[in-house]
Structure 1
Amino acid sequence: MPIERPNISQLQQLAGELHLQISESEAAEYLALMQPNLDAYDLIDGLSDEVPTVKYPREKGYRPEGEENSLNAWYYKSEVQGAQQGVLVGKTVVLKDNISLAEVPMMNGASSLEGHVPAFDATVVTRLLDAGATILGKATCEHFCLSGGSHTSEPAPVHNPWRKGHSAGGSSSGSAALVAAGEVDMAIGCDQGGSIRIPSAFCGTYGMKPTHGLVPYTGIMPIEATIDHAGPITANVKDNALMLEVMAGPDGLDPRQYISRGGSYIAELDKGVRGLKIGVVTEGFQLPNLQPQLAEKVRNAIARLESLGALVGEVSVPGHQLAAALWSPIGCEGLTMQMMHGNGMGFNWEGLYDVPLLDKHAGWRDSADTLSPSLKICMLIGQFGLKHYNGRYYAKAQNLARRARADYDRAFDDFDLLVMPTVPVTAPPLPQPNCSLTEYISKAFEMIGNTAALDVTGHPAMSVPCGLVDGLPVGMMLIGRHYAESTIYQAAAAFEASGNWQEM
């Protein structure tokens, strides 16, 4: 079916949007010259898309309600049985609802995307199924993944399984809540500012943000390609390492994967920490909203690692605070360009595009007022930087990210791992539906002070539960060199084996 051709007045309007002035006669001449190019569009329109085939059948599924979804953590239930053999046979998995699962609805926490049904499975989904996992469905996530709190998801906030009425953390809120509640063994989360580690810290799960590019993001709705990460959320270290082994490695379709890496992580779990050098990052304990009791729990956990034979010392990483500041122009201008102006896909990269998702998400402009305030403020910051400063601060921030990364790398000259609190607070109460704009936005970003920096530098970082404060979990964040996830797992497994974290 031929695409619609513009007429003369439409072409003059398009020219105006490009700051051009053309006469009617010029427009007519341009139109005639454009026809061979538009014929190419016709050719493309008539061809079938190049997308992966769906390997495993799946149930039609449904959206659970009432007691079946008491935490609001499920978006959609649809069982997909994986291969009959593999390392994940018998393991159940839930997917964050920005991850494509063919023939199953995907909403990404936002009503404007409701009704979208992906046509293919994300690479990580296929890998899990090939390894024998059983996928049980999709977990609720925050509104286009732009919140560290769990109050921005539509149609209702996600509750913490440790205490209803409190935040489960975001943006992989349902993923961590369902693992912590024991409804699934494993979950996939995604992390651009802390969205795997924050809900893991709030809910008491193990959440790994791998090295940038280690896990393919193909088939997952992005926010900003340079800070997009996907990784496992589990109830124990072994499952986490096993899941990452299955998901890691290049797929040839994700431009984030500029180095071919994978790894065997299970082999590291029994090595212990004797002789391992762990640096306590001074800046990680300097957040203005750090709860003293939470900081004490993390320091007690570090002392426990030391009692197991680790060599512990303090270290300053000035790039930690720099990287946290760099997140604003990179995250806000980047998401405004890629996720909003670029309709979720953006431009200038080779790989697998989800064309129907692009078409569906383009409709955000028709209901922009319904976007969450946490997304709106990022868009306003991003648009301001793009319009008034031509993106120069995004560009400079990307340059300065190398300085922040180098500061971390210098710390790794002396230490094998770095450690700090994952988040500065335990899970706070969910804001009321009629709360102020200030409270709504503050509760979305008050906890990202330590986590966002590692999205900018790309280093792997894992939240490990290490105690309770007033009955709510505390997370300790272990940070490794690029592609040194195995060292993180080594320390996390030793800590896990040393005692019940809930009693520490």
Structure 2
Amino acid sequence: MDFSDRVKDLLQRIKNDNPYNAFINVDEDAVEKSREIQQKIKDGRAGRLAGKVIGVKDNICVKGLPTTCASGILKDFVPPYNATVVNKILKEDGLILGKTNMDEFAMGSSSEHSFFGAVRNPVDESKVPGGSSGGSAAAVAGGLVDMALGSDTGGSIRQPAAFCGVVGIKPTYGRVSRFGLVAFASSLDQIGVFGKNVYDTALLLSVIAGYDSMDSTCMDVPVGNYFRDMEKGVKGLRIGIPQEYFGEGLDKEIEERVKFCVSELEKGGAKIAEISLPHTKYTIATYYIIATAEASSNLARYDGVKYGLSVRKGNLDSMYDDTRHQGFGNEVKRRIMLGTYVLSAGYYDAYYSKAQKVRRLIKGDFMKAFDN
């Protein structure tokens, strides 16, 4: 089967019954675009992603396709521009099939909190695929795409990748441009990738990584050769195992599997060292304060005035209230309220300011470990 026929079949499959409810929308011109890529392959002038079918999480802008963030408040929003990562994919002749389902505004860990319905896990459709990038993980695991983009704020690529049995990576903050990513928590958000295997994941990451002047947090650091580095193996690599990660609440089966992988790395020549990250016990509380505070600020823009849903039945105040009441789901409302609370005048110092100080301590634990 040639590339265009494969794309046609995948597109029809999604239109017919949208397996796993993995997609929110698809590119109706995907077949025609696949023919152009196929011709480039024949002519020997194709990019690194030619022949690859790619899904894009629906909080990453693709010009001409709706970017809904799985929310009723943005269900009809169509961005007039591409995210930087999308431009990089298109430049290398990747075929974007459509936009994948997710937890609304990336707030969730099960992909059940979507205006368009819950995503199902291809491994077992009675189970959740993880979240918030569950649609991207399910699309890769279910064979609907070869690779996909997701976003990760507090586990939203790593967790669904594990749940669905695919490879996922959250790059270091600043490694990949966030321009065109709809913001949840700006100091934590990062675009990353899913693939069926490590090589596909490395390929897509090598395409989207790198400096972008449109994102002031993007680091101007050379992009490494991920393929070459994989071929080196792990001999001589020093890997720290935080003792705090093996505490109360860790599932026994997961613990055994992790320890098995550690032993395999050691057999491959890696040097294993037990380390301590003493502020680990504060990480979840710190995350939930900082992430909800930033979400409260970022989502204030959805007011019914500029774009997205606008419910106008009375005065200005009622427009704000009615638009947000009808447009946002319950989980998003909950996090906005939490974030607004920790930023309020009477509680700022007790919660948000303290969380930022603890964040520095947590970062210090990691810096000390890497310096040792």
The bucket for the TM-score relative to the shorter chain is 0.7 to 0.9
Q: Is the Cα–Cα contact under 8 Å of residues 309 and 323 in structure 2 kept in the other structure?
A: no
Aligned residue for 2:171? 210
Residue 440 of structure 1: aligned partner: none
Aligned mates of 1:273, 1:224 — CA distance in 2: 34
Report the Cα offset of residue 402 of structure 1: 2.2
1:381 alignment partner, one of 338, 342, 348: 338
2:341 is the alignment partner of 1:341: no
Choose from 156, 160, 163 the match for 2:121. Answer: 160
Structure 2 counterpart of 1:295: 255
Match of 1:197 in 2: 158
Aligned mates of 2:248, 2:167 — CA distance in 1: 22
Structure 1 window deviating more from structure 2 (378-387 vs 199-208): it is 378-387
Q: Distance between the aligned counterparts of 2:347 and 2:88, measured in 1?
A: 40
Q: 1:299 to 1:152 in 2, by over 3 A?
A: same
For residue 183 of structure 1, what is the aligned residue in structure 2?
144
Which has the higher Rg, Structure 1 or Structure 2?
Answer: 1
The two structures, once aligned, show a CA RMSD in angstroms of 2.6
- Quick one: distance in 2 between partners of 1:119 and 1:135? 17
The superposition leaves residues 278-300 of structure 1 with CA deviations (integer Å, 9 ceiling, x where unpaired) of: 12112222252x22112111111
2:185 is equivalent to residue 227 of structure 1: no
Q: Which blocks of at least 5 consecutive residues in structure 2 are unaligned? A: 1-7, 41-45, 312-319
Q: Larger RCO: Structure 1 or Structure 2 (Cα < 8 Å, ≥ 6 residues apart)? A: 1
CA distance in 2, matches of 1:211, 1:244: 11
Query: What is the distance in 2 between the residues matched to 1:245 and 1:362?
Result: 40
What is the identity, as a one-letter code, of the residue corresponding to 1:408?
A: F
Indicate the residue corresponding to 1:70 in structure 2: 19
CA contact (8 A) 2:136 2:150 kept: yes
Show the counterpart of 2:270: 310
Matched, 1:170 2:131: yes
Q: Which amino acid aligns with 2:62?
A: L
Separation (CA, whole Å) in 2 of partners of 1:154 and 1:95: 17
Partner AA of 2:332 in structure 1: L
Partners of 2:177 and 2:209 within 8 A in 1? yes
The letter for the 2-side match of 1:368 is R
Other-structure match for 2:308: 360
Q: Do 1:172 and 1:199's aligned partners in 2 also have CA atoms closer than 8 Å?
A: yes
Of the three residues 356, 359, 363, the one matched with 1:405 is 363
- Rounded Cα–Cα distance in structure 2 between residues aligned with 1:294 and 1:251: 38
Whether 1:148 aligns to 2:105 is no
Mapped pair 1:372 → 2:333: no
Report deviation, 1:91. Answer: 1.0
SS state of the match for residue 308, structure 2?
helix
Q: Distance in 2 between matches of 1:365 and 1:225?
A: 25
Shift of 1:71: 0.4
CA distance in 2: counterparts of 1:70 and 1:91, whole angstroms: 19
Q: What's the TM-score once normalised by structure 1's chain length?
A: 0.63
Residue of structure 2 equivalent to 1:3: none
Q: Could you list the runs of 5+ residues in structure 1 that have no partner in the other structure?
A: 1-58, 345-355, 415-504
Please give the alpha-carbon distance, in whole angstroms, between the structure 2 residues aligned to 1:151 and 1:89: 33
More helix by share: 2
In the alignment, is the contact (CA less than 8 A) between 1:275 and 1:311 conserved in 2? yes
C-alpha displacement of 1:400? 3.1
- Identity, % of aligned positions: 33
1:129 and 1:366 map into 2 onto residues whose CA distance is: 39
**Secondary structure of 1:232 counterpart:** strand
Q: CA shift at 1:261, angstroms?
A: 4.3
Judging changes above 3 Å, is the alpha-carbon distance between structure 1 residues 67 and 286 closer, same or farther for their aligned structure 2 residues?
farther
Q: Shift of the alpha carbon at 1:154?
A: 2.1
Other structure's SS at 2:96 match: strand
AA matched with 1:407: D
* 1:46-91 residue CA offsets vs partner (Å, 9 max, x unmatched): xxxxxxxxxxxxx9xx998675312000111112558642111111
Residue 97 of structure 2 aligns with an amino acid whose one-letter code is: L
2:169 and 2:136 map into 1 onto residues whose CA distance is 13
Q: What's the CA shift string for 1:382-421, capped at 9, x where partnerless?
A: 111122436333234234322211101211234xxxxxxx
CA 1:358–1:291 in structure 2 vs 1: closer, same or farther (change >3 Å)? farther
- Distance in 2 between residues matched to 1:336 and 1:325, nearest whole Å: 17
